[in-house]
Amino acid sequence: MRLSSRLKAIVDMVPPGMKVADIGTDHGYIPVYLSLNGISDYIVATDIKSGSLNKAINEIKKNKLSTKIITRLGSGLKVLNLNEVDIAIIAGMGGILIADILEKDKNIASTIKRFILQPMKASDYLRYYLNKNGYRIIDEDLILENEKYYEIIVAEHGHEIINDNIFYEIGKKLIEKRHPLVKDYIKYKIGKMRRIIDEVSKSHNNISLIENILYKIKKYEVLLNESEMPDNCRND
């Protein structure tokens, strides 16, 4: 089966041979792909909505994988058993909701080795939560699909020092690996903030907000310069 660029980037983060849970599976495309391509032979597909889970069940049946993929109806990680899976995929939700899922089921989350997270919004909130709650980000990816950027965050249990809050908004790993889309993404974020300034400038009561946004833009511009800097200059 052929996946969208966003979903393909997510499954590419799954090492072969791992037990996987897809939380909020919706149509079940990720579990089906993982099974059909021999990436995982133990997969749990879950969703809080029966309608969405039924879509996944139909997709699983269509591909004759009913004996290979477990489906469960329920919220967050609660539907999993302790030590049942190695990896949990939580994609297509807001960053606040993803953080809430991890927070509510800490006992189960503590037994999962890796999390592949794809927030639709509030990625800065999610990165902050991960950093303050015993997770470290080991990799990130950035996808442009249908003129929209999608961030994919891979986290494991551990500790990470974040020396600048700007890295909650732009993943540090994207800068370190010099991701091919990161420059355009930073420019997109700067443009978005400039449009906010244009809007709030119409009111005379938002001077402090404008100052905060301008400060953040300067931070973004520093990252942009770093991402454009040749490797030999970065190591001097």
Q: What is the mean pLDDT of residues 63-92?
A: 98
pLDDT at residue 171 tops 90? yes
- Same domain as 120, residue 189: no
- Same domain as 135, residue 199: no
How far apart, in Å, are the Cα atoms of 135 and each of 35, 89, 117, 131, 217? Answer: 28, 15, 12, 6, 27
Write the CB contacts of 171 (distance below 8 Å, at least 6 apart in sequence). Answer: 123, 127, 137, 140, 142, 151, 153
What size, in residues, is the chain?
A: 236
- Same domain as 149, residue 81: yes
CATH number of the domain enclosing 47: 3.40.50.150
The domain of 186 spans 182-234
pLDDT at 226: 79
- Same domain as 116, residue 219: no
Q: What is the mean pLDDT of residues 81-104?
A: 98
pLDDT at 236: 46
Per-residue pLDDT of 126-136, as tens digits, reads 999 999 999 99
Distance (Å, whole) CA 76 – CA 81? 12
Kindly tell me the burial class for residue 235, based on how many C-beta atoms sit within 10 Å of its own C-beta (0-12, 13-18, 19 or more): exposed
- Average per-residue pLDDT in the chain? 94
Structure-token pair, residue 2: 């052929």
